[in-house]
Structure 1
Amino acid sequence: MNQQAPLPKNRTLGFILVILGASFWGIGGTVAQKLFQQENIEVGWLVSSRLLLAGILLISIYKITHRKESIFVIWGTKYNTFRQILFSLLGMLAVQYTYMMSIALGNSAVATLLQYLAPLFIMAYYFITKHSQLTKQDGIAVSLTLIGTFLLLTNGSLSTLSVPITAVFWGVLSGLSAAFYTLYAVPLLQQFHSLLVVGWSMLIGGVVMSVFYQPWHINIANWALSTTLYFFFIVIFGTMLAFWFYIESLQYLSPNETSLLGSLEPLTAVVTSVLWLQIPFGGGQTIGTLLILSMILYLTVFQKKRMKS
């Protein structure tokens, strides 16, 4: 009788990395909400500062780990340059700004869950462009999402919204931006290292945002220690390490496994929002959250089958 081989140490490291990465993403959104609503930090300023610093750090990490390779290789042709700039503005910058606006106007739990509507938008894109046909699994996922989103936003009552309609608007835009980010990045990631693609996209997005929201037009010296710690947590843990750990986990785990464990992001956002910021969550919203999480897990389980179809 064959015995199952023990879990290799490198796979254990992969699990640790993806769990930490997803958790940092979710917690980072909650910390951003703290800065917006209790420290009066402006959304545009945080986005520009966050993208600039995280982009510089990611590109630096790439250069340290790939000393013989140029960080400018991605700008070798006009076609790649165009794609990288478009990805930076309509992908990275758009998803960061819309997500943060949804948090500022609502809360991180709802914003993160609305961003996770992206798989449905990707599904709709493939269906409209006739790259795939709707399956039974797709129908189940759509049903879970529609019911879950209704309960999340209304707590089961048609007369009230749990967050302002503007927060819902920016949250849905965040999901659309995340879908574009995911689809449009594929050709670039097939040619260049992910640290370069994302690092440059963050840096470009940060430079563009700096035209409107200058990072240097704020006196950090007047911040309380807690505010400073929150800010650097968002930059280092909620942005740079979250992405780096998630990408690095692909060295040890399959994409299917990392996607499955990546669903911890909305879960950590909900838990930290409720426990730390004491965001009220009704019974209907709890059920809605569980339905949306079930959609994420369900689509992940059937990912390979859907890709083949």
Structure 2
Amino acid sequence: MQVKREGIGAILAIIGAVCWGIQGPISQFLFQDDSYSPEWLMGVKMTIAGVLILLFTTGVKHQPLLKVWQTPRDACLLLVYSLFGLAAVQYFYLVTVSASNAGTATILQSLGTIIIVILTAMIYHHLPSRNEGVAIGLALIGTWLLVTRGNLFHLAISGEALTLGLLLALAGALQTMLPVSLLKRHDVMIVVGWGMVIGGGLFSIIHPFWVDPPHFTVGGVIGVASIVILGTMVSFVCFTTSLKYVSPTVAGMLDTFEPLSATLGSVAFLNTSFNFAEICGGVLILSTVFVLALPTLKPNLK
């Protein structure tokens, strides 16, 4: 029975990661048309996905939607998580894709795991463990190879893309750390649903999606619908639900399907190319997840 539960959790985590990953190439395809902007896409995808998640939660799961707002502490935490975690990671992902490509953006997002290690060490005032130190070193080397394409003294991507990618990684770390206590008291679907609605509302104010909409084609409509349903709603629901069946460590390891699917999609459908140095850099960055999952070896004092 335990094996079956872990299998279900693994499948859900992989589906969630792949759905998030394929959002990158689809976004990259849409941004080739200048009429699509990250701000417009954020308002559409977060608002629609959030409303659908909340309707599912109250209509199928029969969960109270307003309970999370009844405690001032939880309400404030939800707002902070929604803006600086959930909305920030999705926005910085889209603008990093726009400034570089889907594969590079998704790999840089993986640095969020290293930022969590560093922030945890700073908050609790302890040095990183041996595994954490190795992971940080691999991440630094991998990032350098990725952004220089092997020419170690020249950036192969723009400074804007690198800055946005690092902000994306920071937002990813905050998205993981901020809602921990909130999820202990409230259903994950409630938290994610309201987070989507809040983020979508903010970007609808910045760039109302009903004002000057892009010129829609069949491909554009399919692309936007895919991002809303698969890349936003299905990805978050599947991945967060997987945590009921597998540990965060296992889910994090399976999360490496994100950059894999994003990179393969970019290469296959958008003719994006990666040289040997970039591939090595991406592998080093992704390997940090597995290094952090290894048990820390203690020295034998006998």
Q: Which amino acid counterpart does residue 273 of structure 2 have in structure 1? A: P
Per-residue deviation at 1:39?
5.9
**Which secondary structure state, in structure 1, belongs to the residue aligned with residue 270 of structure 2?**
coil
1:14: how far off? 2.7
> Is it true that 1:124 corresponds to 2:92 in the alignment?
no
Q: Within the alignment, does 1:145 sit opposite 2:165 as a pair?
A: no
Could you tell me how far 1:254 is from its partner in structure 2?
Answer: 3.0
Aligned-pair CA distance for 1:19: 1.3
Task: Specify the alignment match of 1:35 in structure 2.
Answer: 30
2:227 maps to a residue whose letter is I
Distance (Å, rounded) in 2 between the aligned partners of 1:6 and 1:72: 34
Percent of paired sites with the same residue: 33
Q: 1:70 to 1:295 in 2, by over 3 A?
A: same
Does structure 2 retain, via aligned residues, the 8 Å contact 1:107–1:163? no
Matched, 1:289 2:282: yes
CA–CA distance in structure 2, aligned partners of residues 213 and 298 of structure 1: 41
Q: 2:77 matched to which residue of 1?
A: 83
Tell me the distance in 2 between the aligned counterparts of 1:301 and 1:57. Answer: 38
Q: Which of 275, 291, 301 is equivalent to 2:268?
A: 275
Cα distance in 1, alignment partners of residues 265 and 202 from structure 2: 31
| TM-score normalised by structure 1 residue count | 0.90
Cα separation, partners in 2 of 1:133 and 1:6, compared to 1, 3 Å: closer
Residue-pair matches, total: 297
- Match of 1:189? 183
Matches for 1:1-309 after TM superposition, within 5 Å: 7-8=3-4, 10-38=5-33, 40-67=35-62, 69-219=63-213, 222-302=215-295
- The answer to whether the 8 A contact 1:148-1:292 is kept is yes
2:295, 2:196 → 1: CA distance? 31
- 1:73-109 deviation digits (Å, cap 9, x = unpaired): 1001111111111111111121111111111111111
Return the offset for 1:26.
Answer: 0.5
Q: Deviations for 1:261-284, whole angstroms, at most 9, x for unmatched residues?
A: 111111111111112111111110
Q: Can you list the C-alpha shifts for 1:173-213, whole angstroms capped at 9, x where unaligned?
A: 01111111211111111110111111101100111111110
Amino acid at match of 2:247: S
Q: Which runs of 5+ in 2 are unaligned?
A: none
CA RMSD, 1 decimal: 2.0
Q: Look up the equivalent residue of 2:20 and give its one-letter code.
A: W
The amino acid of 1:138's aligned partner reads E
1:160: Cα distance to partner?
3.5
Distance in structure 2 (CA, Å) of the matches to 1:235 and 1:120: 29
Whether the 8 Å contact between 2:145 and 2:152 is mirrored in structure 1 is no
2:97 maps to amino acid: I
Per-residue deviation, residues 30-67 of structure 1 (Å, max 9, x unmatched):
11111112464111000111110111111112112322
1:302 and 1:211 map into 2 onto residues whose CA distance is 47
Deviation at 1:131, TM superposition (A): 4.9
Give the gaps of 5 or more residues in structure 1: none
